[in-house]
Structure 1
Amino acid sequence: MRFFPILATFLCSFLSGVLLAQPGEKTALWHSFEKVEFKLNGIPARIIKPRKPLPGNPWVWRAHFPDWHVEMDSILLERGFHIAYINTNDLYGSPKAMMIWDDFYQHLVSEKGFASKVALEGVSRGGLYVYGWAKRNPAKVSCIYAEAPVCDFKSWPGGKGKSKGDAKSWQQLLEVYGFSEQQALAFTDNPMDHLEGLAAYKIPILHVISLTDKLVPSDENTFPLVERYQKLGGPTTVYAMSRGAQTLEGHHFPIEHPAWWADFITQHSVPVQKPLSSAAYVRIRGGLPNAYRVITEQKKATVAFLGGSITHNPGWRDKVSQFLQEKFPQTAFTFIKAGIPSLGSLPHSFRIEQDVLSHGKVDLLFVEAAVNDRTNETDSLTQLRALEGIVRHARKANPAVDVVLMEFADPDKFGDFRQGKKPVELANHERVAAHYQLPSIDLAREVYDRIAAGEFSWEYDFKDLHPSPFGQELYFQTMKDLLNTGFSLEEKPVKPLAGIPPLVGGSFDNGHYVSIKEASLQTGWKLIENWKPADGVGTRPGFVDRPMLEATTPGAALSLNFSGTAVGIALVSGPDAGEVEYRIDQGPYRKMDLQTQWSQQLHLPWYKLFASNLPDKKHVLQLRMAATKNPKSKGTACRIVYFLVN
């Protein structure tokens, strides 16, 4: 009997134009569809619901002007799409707007079950938003539809070219970005800039424009963007609207064939793709609460990146830095870029003092070594001693430092995965991370699994262990997920190192460089103050145009007095690298080949350990050039950059 009063109430509400809503929501009709209005973190937002959603809940995200040109949206609603909008008006696609967009996306995907890939719709200044967010999140975008989009704010509202611009909006934009006029004109991240990642993901874009648009001229906006995007391999379509009255100096025009553009969005959004979640490859453990506290309370933080060439090259590292600056705009960040090509965990453990810790207190440290540890054939025990040494050394310098261990991809590891084995390098990273409760990311497994799932290919998309723009974006997205989750944990007191027993004996937790000037030279060695190769073979920055000990003849000898548990050398291994003989404390001489598989093409930075796990006391290293050499070597040379001592 209670059914009829409830039904009557619903019908009265429906007929009055207001539907029943959840707490905090207001529901009304929008062109005969249900509109749900709510606030997310205090910001007005809305969802237009289809009468019958498509499987997987595909959706369109409108930027600005949500009630302008609704024909295409109405068609998509009829087909089963949701239409979403959050009010970031007058933020001009700024980093502040992008953080709000991140939260809105996460809310709709995680809480509402929307598809993980969204079609972006940008009208006019909405171009600043859709391209700004798509470039930061290409893996989350199915396609981009834009009407007369702003692709360079110097054109509009700046009015620095053919457009007369808008002085009031330009001033507003400068304030939102925190720019001076000069800084705005020098800005290099407009929608038309840095499209490499978006193009690598092959995100289709469609612009509908007017050729007579004087407010947002296509010559300054759509055409430069499209040309750049096409040259990068991005799929593009441009349609010039020419039928019907065009107003506002050609910027407002009727939309021809709205069903065509609805077809474009449908084609690239349905059926809904369900890519693997990066959460399966992230281990948060103790999280990053200490770094978060420093960032948010002290408003001053240092972030260091320690790794090989994948850290040295621009890409994910710069994207992480940009993300942190945008997420915490009130914080002054210092970024230490300590990536050196070819180096793995062993070199990192001895150079961390000079290359990272000497720059001051580090609050967040990213470490990667898994690729070069495999390539350089570093044995398992040495890997553990080095990785644990890095963590303990960093914690001695700052007990509250948060450390992230990263395991990058290379084809060699894929063979292990196919055999059901976990690569030794990854296992060692995880052992150290688990022992010290550090966050870690298994990017190698993520790449392998996504390839196996058919999401992309190594050959055409990822391309190399030095990732393509596609790979850099994939790495960054997973790191972004880790940062957002790790920052959300409550801060806990850091367990003192004294309370954490070492994972293995003899870790390199006091690894450091010893100057080559500390050596006692006997015969055949000379100190070259500014070494550079005479054979025209390439070098690496930091290992050329600098002091170096050099010997080129058999029998050349030196000695080094040192205190500690391990000793070795950082050298340059080129085409003429020979063999050395060494001994510790008058023990028997042992021989070591200094050639590498790359020495014929490069004077390569190379780190060799003579002894480890020695008694922690004073020792003497004796070193001499051998008369023998590798058959591939062109000489019997040794060039020492540093001595290594733990």
Structure 2
Amino acid sequence: MTNTWANHWLNHRGGLPHMQEKLNRHEPITVAFIGGSITEGAGASDLATTSWRALTERYLKQRYTPDMVMCINAGVGGTTSTFGAHRLQAHVLSHGEIDLLFVEFSVNDGEDRDESIRGMEGIVRQCRRLSPRTDICFIYSAADKNLTESTPFNIAVHEEVAAYYEIPSVNFAARVYALLQTDEVRWDDLASDRVHPNDAGHALYASFLREYLNEALGGKKDADGDKDPVRINGQEVVSLLPSLNPNNYEYAAMLEVDPVDGLVGFEWRELSSEPLMNWRYDTRHLYTDTHDASLSFTVHGQRAGILLLCGPDSGTFEYAIDSEPFQAIQLFDDWCLKAYRPIMAMFPMYADRQSRRITIRHTGKKDERSTGTSLRILKLLSN
């Protein structure tokens, strides 16, 4: 493989200086993986052992000994960088100091460039503000839309953020595309559904990442590794660049539902025997199927929303912000016929950050395919 091609699929940029610094001191490291189903391990025969994430964890533990490495799986199937930014604190940063964060959303992010920038930039800015010694690396996995000769749309958008913030990126898709041109392998042999890699595909991804880590952590200490960090009141701080998109999700959060008030017609429930997909976390939620049931909550920021558990019996709800008129939201889709899963309902974005009062109300209406009119509120969302 030539250096020209290596430069095409791999961008070292700012490198992994903090990770390297800790390893040079022989200190334990924590590595987190946030992304969609490919990060979670979909397609692998055993997501805990044969996924690219699990194989990367095994590689790190073999290289640095098991007691020096802890890894966090924050992959959630079917989710975008918008949701990633909102759950970053709950699913990653709440575990304590993170040394390396892999971010993988190039397959799940859609065609809305601004929203993709908001999500990826929000993850970066939030991480650098709350955990300034965390190194970040973007991962671009393969799917039909990412297997093109020129840079695919979603990867190009993510690269805007990566280049601006000097974040390294590893382009699995570009590497797979090059292999496919040699006729040595077929895409169907690596991912039968042309999205989620099988064990062979996951092993290939892990080998690409091993190549990067072998270079990035090859033992050469970063020139800036000995610089003393800037601290205020004992806390390390970083100077953030001006934002690419002022409406990015730097202050995004996924909050518990407990602070709601004015509960009328809701009760607490958990999923038990019901089918569930794309969620490995607590299912405690507020439930209603009562017409005109309502609740309210207050959040501070530019945008609010709720995270719903939508499934076969989900109905339509409506929301109002402060004194504005109620607006109905219908989220039922073909996937709801299969199982319950988390779906974000995001409300309008405002230019200013201030406290806003949100009211949620059950409409009693539903999609014709739904078996009921349930409303299940899992989390509150704010930015």
Q: TM-score range by the shorter chain?
A: 0.7 to 0.9
Counterpart of 1:486 (choices 208, 212, 216) is: 216
Matched AA of 1:410: A
1:532 aligns with 2:272: yes
**2:34 aligned partner, one-letter code:** L
CA distance in 2, matches of 1:567, 1:295: 40
In the superposition, relative to structure 1, how do residues 321 and 424 fare at CA in structure 2: closer, same or farther (>3 Å)? same
The residue identity in structure 2 corresponding to 1:634 is T
C-alpha distance in 1 between matches for 2:7 and 2:108:
25
Contact 2:38–2:196 under 8 Å retained in 1: yes
- Give the AA of the match of 2:76: I
Which secondary structure does the structure 1 equivalent of 2:300 belong to? strand
Query: Deviation of residue 600 (structure 1)?
Result: 0.4
Which runs of structure 2 are paired with 1:99-118 in the superposition (5 Å)? Answer: none
CA distance in 1: counterparts of 2:20 and 2:133, whole angstroms: 11
Q: What are the Cα deviations for residues 57-100 of structure 1, in whole angstroms up to 9, with x where unaligned?
A: xxxxxxxxxxxxxxxxxxxxxxxxxxxxxxxxxxxxxxxxxxxx
1:286 to 8, 14, 27: 14
Selected match of 1:599 from 336, 343, 349:
336
Question: For residues 243-262 of structure 1, what are the structure 2 equivalents within 5 Å?
Answer: none
Structure 1 unaligned blocks of 5 or more: 1-115, 117-273
Equivalent position of 2:71 in the other structure: 335
Match among 458, 466, 473 for residue 203 of structure 2: 473
Q: 1:358 to 1:477 in 2, by over 3 A?
A: same
Give the conservation status (yes or no) of the 8 Å contact 2:93–2:131. no
CA contact (8 A) 1:569 1:641 kept: yes
Which amino acid is the alignment partner of residue 209 of structure 2? M
**Alignment of 1:460 onto 2:207:** no
- 1:504 deviates by 0.7
Q: What SS is found at the alignment partner of 1:598?
A: helix
Pairing of 1:149-188 with structure 2 (within 5 A): none
User: Secondary structure of the equivalent of 2:247?
Assistant: coil
Contact 2:308 2:378 survives alignment (8 Å)? yes
- Secondary structure at the aligned position of 2:337 is classed as coil
Corresponding residue pairs, total: 362
Which residue does 2:44 correspond to in 1? none
CA distance in 1, matches of 2:364, 2:317: 9
Match for residue 442 of structure 1 among 148, 171, 186: 171
**Amino acid across the alignment from 1:625:** H
Equivalent residue letter for 1:471 = G
* Within-5 A mapping of 1:9-408: 279-313=7-41, 314=47, 315-329=51-65, 332-374=68-110, 379-408=112-141
Aligned match of 2:327: 590
Cα gap change, 1:447 to 1:565, in 2 (>3 Å): same
Structure 2 residue matching 1:395: 3-state secondary structure = helix
**What CA distance in whole angstroms lies between the structure 2 residues aligned with 1:570 and 1:609?**
8
Is the 1:299–1:331 contact (alpha carbons within 8 Å) kept by the matching residues of 2? no
Mean Cα deviation higher: 584-593 or 403-412: 584-593
Q: Which residue of the partner structure matches residue 311 of structure 2?
A: 574
Residues 452 and 590 of structure 1, relative CA distance in 2, 3 Å threshold: farther
Matched to 2:177, the amino acid is: Y
Shift, 1:614, TM fit: 4.6
Decide whether aligned partners of structure 1 residues 360 and 446 sit closer, same or farther in structure 2, where only a CA change above 3 A counts.
Answer: same
How big is each residue's C-alpha offset from its partner over 1:325-359, in whole Å with a ceiling of 9 and x where there is no partner? Answer: 22223971121121222222111111111111111
Deviation by residue 1:163-182 (Cα, 9 ceiling, x = unmatched):
xxxxxxxxxxxxxxxxxxxx
Give the counterpart letter for 1:401 in structure 2. Answer: T
Shift of 1:524: 2.6
Cα drift, residue 277 of structure 1: 5.3
CA-CA distance at 1:294 after TM superposition: 0.8
**For the residues of structure 2 that align with 1:330 and 1:597, how far apart are their CA atoms?**
43
Which one-letter code corresponds to 1:542 in the other structure? R
> 1:543 touches 1:572 (CA, 8 Å); kept in 2?
no
Distance 1:505-1:413 versus aligned 2 partners, 3 A rule? same
Partner residue in 2 for 1:55? none
Give the drift of 1:542: 3.4
Aligned counterpart for 1:553 among listed residues 274, 279, 290: 290
| Structure 2: 5+ residue stretches without partners | 42-46, 231-236
Task: Choose which of 297, 300, 313 in structure 2 pairs with 1:563.
Answer: 300
C-alpha displacement of 1:462: 3.3
Report the secondary structure of 1:498's partner residue: coil
Return the alpha-carbon distance in structure 2 between the equivalents of residues 630 and 491 of structure 1.
59
1:531 partner amino acid: L
Instruction: Report the alpha carbon displacement of residue 311 of structure 1 after superposing the two structures with TM.
Output: 1.5
Q: Is the 8 A contact 1:571 1:605 kept in 2?
A: yes
Letter matched to residue 280 of structure 2: G
Look at both structures and tell me which one has the larger radius of gyration over its CA atoms. 1
Matched residue type, 2:164: H
> C-alpha separation between the residues in 2 aligned to 1:554 and 1:445?
51
1:392 touches 1:497 (CA, 8 Å); kept in 2? no
Please give the secondary structure, in 2, of the residue aligned with 1:403. strand
Q: Offset of 1:591 from its aligned partner? A: 2.2
- Distance across 2 between alignment mates of 1:561 and 1:461: 47
Which of these residues, 237, 245, 250, is aligned with residue 504 of structure 1? 245
TM-score, normalised with respect to structure 1? 0.53
Contact kept? 2:8, 2:174, Cα under 8 Å: no
**8 A Cα contact 2:146 2:155, kept in partner:** no
Asked if 2 retains the 8 angstrom alpha-carbon contact of 1:554 and 1:626, the reply is yes
Aligned sequence identity (%): 29
Deviation per residue, 1:452-486 (Å, 9 max, x gap): 33231112333232211221122111111211222
Structure 1 segment 407-418 matched on structure 2, within 5 A: 407-414=140-147, 417=148
Once residues 580 and 497 of structure 1 are traced to their aligned partners in structure 2, the CA distance between those partners, rounded to angstroms, is 42
Q: Secondary structure at the match of 2:356?
A: strand
- Residues 580 and 594, structure 1, Cα contact 8 Å, conserved in 2: no
Q: Do 2:117 and 2:248's aligned partners in 1 also have CA atoms closer than 8 Å?
A: yes
Q: Distance in 2 between matches of 1:608 and 1:614?
A: 19
Q: Does the 8 A contact of 1:514 with 1:644 survive in 2?
A: yes
Q: Distance in 1 between matches of 2:341 and 2:261?
A: 25
Give the structure with the higher percent helix. Answer: 1
Residues 191 and 197 in structure 2, CA contact (< 8 A), matched pair in contact too: yes
- Superposed CA RMSD: 2.5
Query: Distance in 2 between the 1:454 and 1:538 partners?
Result: 39
Task: Give the direction of change, closer, same or farther, for the CA distance of 1:446–1:613 in structure 2 (3 Å limit).
Answer: farther
* 8 Å contact kept, 2:142–2:176: yes
Aligned partners of 1:644, 1:298: CA distance in 2, in Å? 39
Tell me by how many angstroms 1:372 deviates.
2.0
| Alignment deviations for residues 175-203 of structure 1 (CA, whole Å, 9 cap, x no partner) | xxxxxxxxxxxxxxxxxxxxxxxxxxxxx
